[in-house]
Amino acid sequence: MASLFSGSIRLRGLELSNRLFMAPMCQYSAMDGKPTEWHLRHYVERAVGGIGLVMLEATAVSPEGRITPADLGLWSDAHRDALKPLVDVLHSAGAKVGVQLAHAGRKASTAVPWLGKGSVSKSDGGWDTVAPSAQPFDDSHTTPDALAKDGIDRIVHAFGEAARRAVEAGFDTVEIHAAHGYLLHQFLSPLSNKRHDDYGVSLEGRSRLAREVVSSVRLNLPDSMPLFIRVSACDWIEGGWDVDECASMLRDVATQAVDFVDVSSGGVAPGAKMPVGPGYQVGLASRIRAATGLPTGAVGLITTAEQIDQILLAGAADAVSLGRLLLRDPYWPSRNLSADARRVPSQYLRAYN
């Protein structure tokens, strides 16, 4: 029997050949926000490997929105022009391509993971950070500046402009990053949002920035292009952001034409007790799907074809994002997709005949 993930999925005008997506995974290898030869090698191998959708890593909408000085960016037309050749090559390999637009907030200006941890000083290329409230992520991070209304407005505008550039670069879809403790998640969670204005206190206030970003991005996308959003469905900390609040926020943005929810969890504060194990976040995707009616993607320690089939058969999610599995094995999809669904470049056909 053909694997369930071999089936196609359509989101607005985007037809994806299978239900295996590449999760956005930072490479920390950009130069001044622009891709390098590493990105070309990294992403093209996964495209040739048969993945249905390649989602580029967190790509900052402003210089100060980068997680590290080595993050990708889309804050200028020069960055758009630098990304377009990469998109073109991925299309030539048969893949559809998305980009995750992001702002790191108080988790910005940090060291590349394999070089250290915590904030990078200005003398080493770092910068001042911003957040909903003047609270650092932990003792290794500098204290951010609490955003004023004009700063919030600039960020909303920056997301919209980055979406425009993504369309011009040829991307097939855009994902808004509202997960893992980065800026939009910082506003959503009461653990990091201590504001007492229109952007704090209640769920309506804490979710206002996310709604404004969705509107700004959607206005810059063609009607045929689906809009993804990645969420942390819960914080795994008492008193934090939870699945019910997440579902409520998503029902609101669904009316603004969000088409797909990439469901993850955690990241907003240290000390979370995450029940890490095979498929540990699948139940969150299932609950979000049931509560919102939106198509969802499951992610997190999903490593076998049997797991994926069970997720799809149970209706827990509509697609599965592969993360570290694809770092280890970029050709896993081509080996596990059914023969009629396998996407093989013309140059390699003789290996399958």
* Residues with catalytic roles: 182
Contact present, 97 and 21 (Cβ < 8 Å): no
For residues 293 and 254, is the Cβ–Cβ distance under 8 A? yes
Pairing of strands 9-11, 14-16: antiparallel
CA separation (Å) from 265 to 38, 115, 268, 280?
A: 28, 25, 9, 10
What whole-number distance in Å separates Cα of residue 118 and Cα of residue 262?
27
* H-helix or E-strand spanning residue 322: strand 319-322
Nearest in space to 60 (alpha carbons), one of 83, 44, 43 = 83
3-state secondary structure 62-129: CHHHCCCCCCEECCCHHHHHHHHHHHHHHHHCCCEEEEEEECCHHHCCECCHHHCCCECCHHHCCCCC
Beta bridge partners of 10: 15
